[in-house]
């Protein structure tokens, strides 16, 4: 029986530069290679230095969000012979995301940042040639070859749909008669674009080790909550803003949230809750990523495969070139990235025009780090004081500030139910603050008395 050795390379118990080392059967895999959303330069990298250069046999990507993908070119540089496995959708989205990262780093350098870009466009292009897309439900070995029921392989990998965003996958690793399942980011409930996760139930084989996210482990799901009910609450809130002559800003992640809300807006238009004449604005990166969603609509798990978002919703695309000409006229929706309202992004720049206008509203619809501009604005609320950047004076928030729950991460109750059903022999909770990890750890101990719940310190190699 093979052992698994686990090292958390993220650097801290948080949602940051997600990256994990797995050793088994004399082979080493790296699961994800993200960049920290609140840091820059080498400080944004995971602890890749803890893994000897050119010692990795494969890099496996769960999905294309930057906190899981953003340092991939650096990891590939350190391990030049390692193939990189992902789903086809992640392959198509990942290139767009990494090239956008290069653009952001170059813009920061031009603006005076002391941090040199971590990689360039050319390195992203050349690196993509080592990206190997593999379908969900197909078992393959570390060379990328498909493994049949009668084929022998020391270590195999198999993806399952994670329901988080397009292309997101859980990763099942089999080695020497033992199994390790890495959930990545997961949503068990149906969203408007993506159906809920289809993770293995482990009815026919045991789950020896599980690595599970814990993003919302510290907060309970409100009693009676439904996504449909939250959509109706949002529609009513938009109607109230429009009735008083205002417009709505929704800071969104370009990948996942933008496509989710284009789908929601289409549904509201269809039901007469939103005028078909209401202009909807999205950012250029969101438009590029939405094009991939449309391209793969009938080839990936999708709740509305015939909906073509760019054509059927027909959003206007905002860019740096036309932003200055954009006018904040009444009864419009600005669904702009970044979701964290990071300085020098469209949502941050546009919010500065909103704060002093009581007829307008800023609606938060997903996760926002408490220390980000979005998190601080949510905490300040209407009547509070906020500065959206070093070059922005503190001012009183006069526009409406409201929050809605459209998370692409599973509620802690759903994670608890899955863990209880899968019955892992050992489990590690990651991708959350200590309070979130702690709540789910306590729940696992209560539900599965025989399950060993581990909390290895970042950077410490532990045998599983």
In angstroms, the CA 447 to CA 421 distance is: 10
Q: Phi and psi dihedrals of 158, rounded to 5? A: -145, 130
User: Long-range pairs for 374-380 at CB < 8 Å and ≥24 separation?
Assistant: 374/251, 374/339, 374/340, 374/341, 374/347, 375/340, 377/341, 377/351, 377/401, 378/403
Residues in Cβ contact with 180 at an 8 Å cutoff, skipping those fewer than 6 apart: 4, 22, 24, 172, 173, 208, 209, 210, 211, 464
Length of the chain: 464
Do 192 and 315 sit in the same domain of this protein? no
Do 388 and 412 sit in the same domain of this protein? no
- Final residue in a domain of this structure, among 363, 384, 403: 403
Residues in Cβ contact with 174 at an 8 Å cutoff, skipping those fewer than 6 apart: 139, 155, 156, 158
In angstroms, the CA 225 to CA 238 distance is: 19
Q: Per residue in 377-427, pLDDT tens?
A: 999 999 999 999 888 889 999 999 999 999 999 999 999 999 999 999 999
What CATH number did the domain enclosing 327 receive?
3.40.50.10890
In terms of DSSP H, where are the helices of 355-433?
Answer: 373-380, 412-422
Domain that holds residue 101: 4-219+408-463
In angstroms, the CA 230 to CA 405 distance is: 7
Using DSSP's 3-state secondary structure scheme, residue 169 falls into strand
Specify the pLDDT at position 128: 96
Specify the pLDDT at position 326: 65
For 171, counting Cβ atoms within 10 Å of its Cβ (0-12 exposed, 13-18 middle, 19+ buried), the class is buried
Specify the pLDDT at position 323: 58
Give whole-number Cα distances, 282 to 11, 258, 285, in Å.
34, 8, 8
Do 199 and 279 sit in the same domain of this protein? no
- Tokens 């509070």 label which residue? 384
Using DSSP's 3-state secondary structure scheme, residue 274 falls into coil
Do 211 and 292 sit in the same domain of this protein? no
- Pull the structure tokens for residue 205: 């084989």
Asked if 215 contacts 412 with a C-beta cutoff of 8 angstroms, the reply is: no
Do 136 and 191 sit in the same domain of this protein? yes
Do 395 and 426 sit in the same domain of this protein? no
Q: Per residue in 373-391, pLDDT tens?
A: 999 999 999 999 999 988 8
Do 173 and 297 sit in the same domain of this protein? no
- Final residue in a domain of this structure, among 403, 421, 439: 403
Q: How do beta strands 27-31 and 20-24 pair? A: antiparallel
Do 144 and 268 sit in the same domain of this protein? no
Do 69 and 141 sit in the same domain of this protein? yes
Do 303 and 171 sit in the same domain of this protein? no
Q: Per residue in 334-371, pLDDT tens?
A: 999 999 998 888 899 889 988 999 999 999 998 888 88
- Total domain count, the chain: 2
Asked if 427 contacts 451 with a C-beta cutoff of 8 angstroms, the reply is: yes
- Pull the structure tokens for residue 323: 């932003």
- Final residue in a domain of this structure, among 383, 403, 423: 403
Specify the pLDDT at position 11: 80
Do 264 and 300 sit in the same domain of this protein? yes
What CATH number did the domain enclosing 426 receive?
3.60.15.10
| pLDDT tens-digit profile, the chain (464 residues) | 678 999 999 988 788 899 999 999 999 999 999 999 888 899 999 999 999 999 999 999 999 999 999 999 999 999 999 999 999 999 999 999 999 999 999 988 888 888 999 999 999 999 999 999 999 999 999 999 999 877 777 999 999 999 999 999 999 999 999 999 999 999 999 999 999 999 999 999 999 999 999 999 999 999 999 999 999 999 999 999 999 999 999 999 999 999 999 999 999 999 999 999 999 999 999 999 999 999 999 999 999 999 999 999 999 998 765 555 566 788 999 999 999 998 888 899 889 988 999 999 999 998 888 888 999 999 999 999 999 988 888 999 999 999 999 999 999 999 999 999 999 999 999 999 999 999 999 999 999 999 999 988 899 999 99
Do 261 and 372 sit in the same domain of this protein? yes
């Amino acid at each position: 029986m093979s052992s698994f050795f686990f090292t958390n390379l993220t650097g801290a118990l948080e949602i940051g530069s997600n990256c994990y080392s797995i050793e088994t059967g004399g082979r080493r895999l790296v699961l994800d290679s993200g960049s920290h959303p609140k840091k820059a330069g080498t400080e944004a990298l995971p602890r890749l230095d803890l893994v000897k250069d050119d010692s990795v046999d494969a890099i496996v990507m769960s999905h294309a969000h930057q906190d899981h993908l953003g340092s991939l070119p650096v990891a590939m540089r350190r391990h030049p012979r390692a193939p990189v496995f992902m789903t086809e959708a992640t392959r198509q989205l990942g290139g767009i995301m990494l090239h956008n990262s290069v653009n952001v780093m170059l813009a920061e350098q031009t603006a005076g940042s002391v941090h040199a870009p971590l990689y360039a466009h050319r390195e992203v292009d050349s690196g993509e040639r080592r990206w190997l897309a593999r379908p969900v439900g197909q078992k393959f070995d570390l060379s990328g070859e498909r493994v049949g029921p009668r084929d022998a392989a020391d270590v195999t990998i198999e993806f399952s749909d994670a329901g988080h965003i397009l292309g997101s996958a859980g990763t099942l690793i089999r080695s020497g008669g033992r199994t390790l399942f890495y959930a990545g980011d997961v949503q068990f409930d149906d969203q408007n674009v993506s159906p809920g996760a289809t993770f293995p139930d482990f009815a026919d084989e045991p789950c020896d080790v599980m690595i599970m996210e814990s993003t919302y482990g510290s907060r309970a799901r409100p009693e009676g909550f439904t996504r449909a009910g939250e959509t109706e609450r949002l529609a009513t809130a938009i109607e109230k803003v429009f009735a008083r002559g205002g417009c709505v800003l929704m800071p969104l992640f370009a990948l996942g949230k933008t496509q989710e809300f284009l789908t929601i807006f289409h549904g509201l238009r269809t039901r007469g809750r939103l005028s078909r004449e209401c202009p909807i604005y999205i950012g250029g990166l969101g438009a590029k990523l939405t094009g991939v969603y449309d391209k793969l609509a009938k080839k990936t798990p999708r709740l509305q495969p015939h909906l073509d978002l760019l054509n059927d919703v027909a959003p206007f695309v905002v860019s740096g070139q036309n932003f200055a000409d954009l006018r904040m006229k009444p009864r419009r929706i600005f669904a702009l990235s970044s979701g964290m309202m990071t300085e020098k992004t469209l949502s941050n720049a546009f919010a500065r025009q909103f704060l002093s206008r009581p007829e307008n509203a800023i609606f938060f619809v997903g996760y926002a780090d408490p220390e980000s501009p979005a998190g601080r604005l949510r905490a300040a609320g209407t009547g509070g004081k906020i500065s959206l950047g070093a070059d922005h004076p503190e001012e009183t928030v006069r526009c409406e500030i409201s929050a809605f729950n459209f998370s692409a991460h599973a509620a802690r109750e759903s994670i608890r139910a899955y863990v209880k059903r899968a019955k892992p022999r050992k489990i590690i909770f990651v991708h959350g603050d200590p309070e979130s990890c702690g709540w789910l750890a306590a729940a696992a101990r209560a539900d599965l008395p025989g399950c060993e719940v581990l909390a290895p310190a970042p950077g410490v190699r532990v045998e599983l």
